[in-house]
């Protein structure tokens, strides 16, 4: 596919959002069409599934299935068509979040998630991001950033031990898919974090 697919990952409070928007402006300034999206979400159906996933009590496998159902709709309706048009797709979270949150955090079987990943993301070849920016920072720092920021959702109100397990899930995914990942040290001033983002994107030749 002609486009570029970049996902942004990290525990809640890692500070991805400003960097996603800044990167979108950089690509647009170079004349690229950019699709900005998020998971769970990105379509009407997937946004409704997001609301259930973030608010309703359910067992961990149900969480994983809703995340993948939302992903399937998002992929077929938004991501794959945008990539086929040659656009840059910047996505706030993607499958690594399911491995980290439902796998690492909730304990859903890793093999089961890998099976779902293959089923859901193989409308032809397996659709994976070309680059995943993993905003890594200590759980305690992220918790401090979230304090008082807003009313916490189901995940944001989890104890620090949950986010330690989520971080371990990200680390495992990073080790398994090393070439696709750029680990960004997010425990730095925002401008330094941004330097890390730009460096990772440029090193792959996606921005000049």
Scanning 19-27, 75-83, 97-105, 124-132 for contacts with ligand TYD by CB under 6 A, the matching segment is 97-105
**Of 26-34, 94-102, 132-140, 169-177, which part binds ligand TYD (CB under 6 A)?**
94-102
Nearest Cα to Cα of residue 4 among 87, 106, 113, 120: 87
Give residues with Cβ within 8 angstroms of 169, minimum separation 6: 99, 100, 101, 103, 104, 105
Q: Does 142 help bind ligand TYD (rule: CB under 6 A)?
A: no
Q: Does 101 bind ligand TYD (CB under 6 A)?
A: yes
Q: Is residue 170 part of the contact set for ligand TYD (CB under 6 A)?
A: no
Q: Which positions from 13 through 72 interact with ligand TYD, judged by CB under 6 A?
A: 39-40, 54, 67
Judged by phi (left if over 0) then psi (alpha if -120 to 50, else beta), residue 12 lies in: beta
Single residue of 4, 20, 78, 92 touching ligand TYD by CB under 6 A: 92
Q: Which residues pair with 184 in a beta bridge?
A: 135
- Phi then psi for residue 129, to 5 deg, are -60, 150
> Binder to ligand TYD among 3, 4, 12, 42 (CB under 6 A)?
12
Does the protein bind ligand TYD through residue 132 (CB under 6 A)? no
Supply 125's token pair: 């070849």
73 is an interface residue for ligand TYD by CB under 6 A: no
| In the complex, least distance from residue 32 CB atom to ligand TYD, rounded to whole angstroms | 23
Q: How far is the CB of 30 from ligand TYD (least distance, A)?
A: 26
Distance between CA 109 and CA 104 in Å, rounded?
9
User: Alpha carbon of 59 to those of 13, 62, 65, 128: distances in Å?
Assistant: 24, 5, 10, 26
Using CB under 6 A as the criterion, which residues of the chain lie in contact with ligand TYD when the complex forms?
Answer: 12, 39-40, 54, 67, 92-93, 97-98, 101-102, 155
């Amino acid at each position: 596919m002609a486009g570029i697919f970049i996902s942004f990952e990290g525990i809640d409070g890692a500070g991805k959002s400003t960097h996603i928007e800044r990167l979108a402006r950089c690509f647009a300034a170079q004349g690229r069409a950019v699709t900005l999206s998020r998971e769970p979400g990105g379509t009407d159906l997937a946004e409704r599934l997001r609301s259930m996933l973030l608010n309703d009590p359910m067992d961990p496998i149900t969480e994983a299935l809703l995340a993948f159902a939302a992903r399937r709709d998002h992929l077929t309706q938004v991501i794959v068509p945008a990539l086929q048009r040659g656009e840059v797709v910047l996505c706030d979270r993607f499958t690594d979040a399911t491995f980290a949150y439902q796998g690492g955090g909730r304990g859903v079987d890793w093999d089961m998630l890998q099976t779902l990943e293959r089923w859901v993301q193989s409308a032809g070849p397996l659709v994976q991001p070309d680059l995943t920016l993993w905003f890594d920072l200590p759980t305690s720092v992220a918790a401090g950033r979230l304090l008082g920021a807003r009313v916490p959702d189901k995940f944001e109100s989890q104890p620090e031990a949950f986010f330690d397990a989520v971080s371990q899930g990200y680390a495992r995914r990073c080790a398994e898919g090393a070439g696709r990942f750029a680990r960004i040290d997010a425990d730095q001033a925002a401008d330094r974090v941004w330097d890390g983002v730009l460096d990772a994107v440029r090193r792959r030749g996606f921005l000049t």
